[in-house]
């Protein structure tokens, strides 16, 4: 049973609408600017990176986009990963299972997909905490494109602050993600 370590209060939803990095509509341009390891959060983002010829180090998906089931070709493309971890993560939360999956997938030398039963929308925040400096997190910005987050101490602190403002156990989150 997954333990919820962070829950997004309704009053914070607008705080997460500001992109953490530059928004791209061209996957090739995004990939040219991104550095490894790359963690992709979202089915459509993962699909676009795969279609552009790049398999992210970690993909975190839930089989949905904008709360609707994704198309069959998107699901088929995501099935091509070597490793797979299934986790439960309810809507508007971050669970210990999700965090452990991110850490395990980043440590795996093979590209790994984390398949979420629930919702992966907040996964970009702990992914930024888990990815080493110089790596990249990519997530979807509805109706705009893909956000590239080059990981550095500044963006990591911004994510730490956002998680800390949620109903969360930030110390436990960081301890799960620490190598």
Query: Which residues are part of a known binding site for GTP?
Result: 43-45, 62, 64, 120, 143
CA distances from 63 to 54, 118, 128, 149 (A): 20, 9, 22, 22
Contacts of 150 (CB under 8 A, 6+ apart): 21, 33, 34, 35, 134, 136
Query: How far is the C-alpha of 8 from the C-alpha of 151, rounded, in Å?
Result: 22
Binding-site residue set? 43-45, 62, 64, 120, 143
Sign of CA dihedral 33, 35, 40, 44: positive
């Amino acid at each position: 049973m997954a333990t919820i370590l962070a829950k997004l209060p309704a009053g914070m939803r607008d705080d997460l609408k500001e992109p953490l990095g530059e928004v791209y509509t061209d996957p090739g341009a995004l990939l040219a600017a991104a550095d490894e390891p790359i963690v992709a959060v979202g089915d459509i983002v993962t699909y676009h990176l795969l279609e552009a010829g790049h398999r992210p180090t970690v993909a975190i998906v839930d089989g949905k986009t904008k709360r609707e089931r994704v198309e069959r070709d998107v699901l088929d493309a995501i099935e091509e990963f070597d490793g797979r971890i299934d986790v439960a993560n309810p809507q508007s939360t971050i669970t210990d299972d999700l965090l452990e999956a991110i850490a395990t997938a980043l440590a795996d030398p093979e590209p790994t997909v984390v398949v979420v039963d629930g919702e992966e929308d907040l996964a970009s925040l702990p992914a930024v905490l888990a990815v080493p400096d110089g790596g990249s997190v990519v997530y979807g910005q509805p109706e705009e494109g893909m956000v590239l987050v080059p990981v550095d101490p500044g963006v990591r602190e911004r994510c730490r602050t956002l998680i800390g403002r949620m109903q969360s156990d930030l110390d436990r989150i960081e301890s799960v993600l620490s190598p």
